[in-house]
Structure 1
Amino acid sequence: MMVSKKEQYQKLVERRRACDCCSEFGLTNGAKILKDKNKEDINEIGQWTASYTPTSKGSLNAKIVILGQDWGTIEEYNNFINSGEIGKSPTSEYEFNTSPTNKNLEIGLKEIDKEVDLKEGDFGECFMTNEILCYKAGNMSAKIDNRCYKNCTEKFLNALLEIIQPKIIIVLGKATFNALVKNGKDNNLFKDKKNAYKKNWGYNKTIEYGLEGNFIYSVGNVEILVFPMAHTGALGVLNRNRHQNAREFIKDWEDLSDYLKDNAILK
């Protein structure tokens, strides 16, 4: 009997709930945080997937996967939980109104003709997730051990991509992209069509080279185009815009739009 995407996904969610392999590196599973507050864990792979989707909760047939680094800190997650009833629309107010990441992401997606309303739970053709699914100690800029990227990518992200089988992955930020590349190369999943990419490139050059459709990530029987982008948080946008009079961030999404249209990627 063929197992449906929904059934595969629910099994993956259950594995995520039970995972504590990165606790020694200062990460805490959201299931534990919620249990300590006598609350039910979300029925999704991660909070970014669930935050704005009390009904749709992200399509398992999405053509686009948006891949961020991590949701944030244990303290921020506790604040989010305390702001309302987890998994319901009111809880979306807290993070949405304090995070430029989501607002800038909406701006970028409009450039590729993907209208989303994250606050209202309208993901359109997108599925949003993070490379790191647990919550970190310290502040928002705290570094995450490379072994956590390896654990989370191999245990959850690759399986998630195999279930969804998207056309493209839009990767937000340098750390997220480098982790995906390293894991992909270690497991023969990542390809550079022109064999020109260098790890020591500045991230601006990596973005520009990647927007030519040169990166492919293969899981199962599907090849997915990977597009590195500046993180849509305030610092990521600022760093990218320093080069072209506060214009480069939008231009990247315009260039992505042109490539997708010229090659009929999302038809």
Structure 2
Amino acid sequence: MPRMLSNGRLCRRLHQIAALRSALFHQLGMVFKDANTDRQYVLASFPVAVCDTIRSSRTKIVQGEAFRGDMPSKKRYFSGVRVYVLATVDGIPVELVFLPGRRHDVKVLKEMPFHLPSYSEIFSDSAVTDYTIEAALSGADGIALRPVRKGNSKRADKPWVNYIKHYSRKQIKTAFSEITELFPQHIQAVISEGFLIKVSFFIYAFTLQKAFLSNYETGFILLKPQRTLRNNPLPPLLRGIKGDAENAEMISYLCVLSASSALSVVMKKLRRR
């Protein structure tokens, strides 16, 4: 494809729209939060390796011991970052933060903005436990941080409360698996900013697909106009919208298809590299 951008030119253009990228995800996150009538969210993280630990001394993207983390589930170490995602219980990301791979999970409580409606609930694992921040969130904004309590915790939960917390966190693990499936075998980058930009674009593409196109074939309005919107159930985002469902669905598609098409081009370009 002679008219396709080279890898260097694509990276330069991605850097030029870094501010627009952050603003777009912030605005989409606000829309998702308003549509989430349950006001329940899940805070979790997944690692993104730049390289294996044995090659960490030669990479220039991330350097230092702060980026050397471990994956307990895979019993291996990596050199890279951890992506902390605040998502709805349906697995739609609304906020995200990148931290070095070695940082402890509790540190994310000071980095995540938590721009949530009042009286929201946040479920997390036992590592994200800080009683001071829990009290601050509850007192200032009425946000209830509900981590899974350890067995020897001074604030142990009832068995049924513990079951609800574990059940609410299952969907986010599925979402992480779907995000990492979009990743190519190697994300080509020269500096850390470029690496994080490309990772964030994969997350944005998954967010659009999960929120608007999860039950649809992408682009069917343009490719198959004979199909009607009544043949499929509403996407997760539109289930809480009142009024004419068909009109709301059409409006959402007109707003998202252009962004989804642009992101799909970026995804294809990144996967070829």
TM-score, structure 2 as length reference: 0.29
TM-score, structure 1 as length reference: 0.29
Task: Pick 1 or 2: higher relative contact order, CA cutoff 8 A, min separation 6.
Answer: 1
Q: Which has the larger radius of gyration?
A: 2
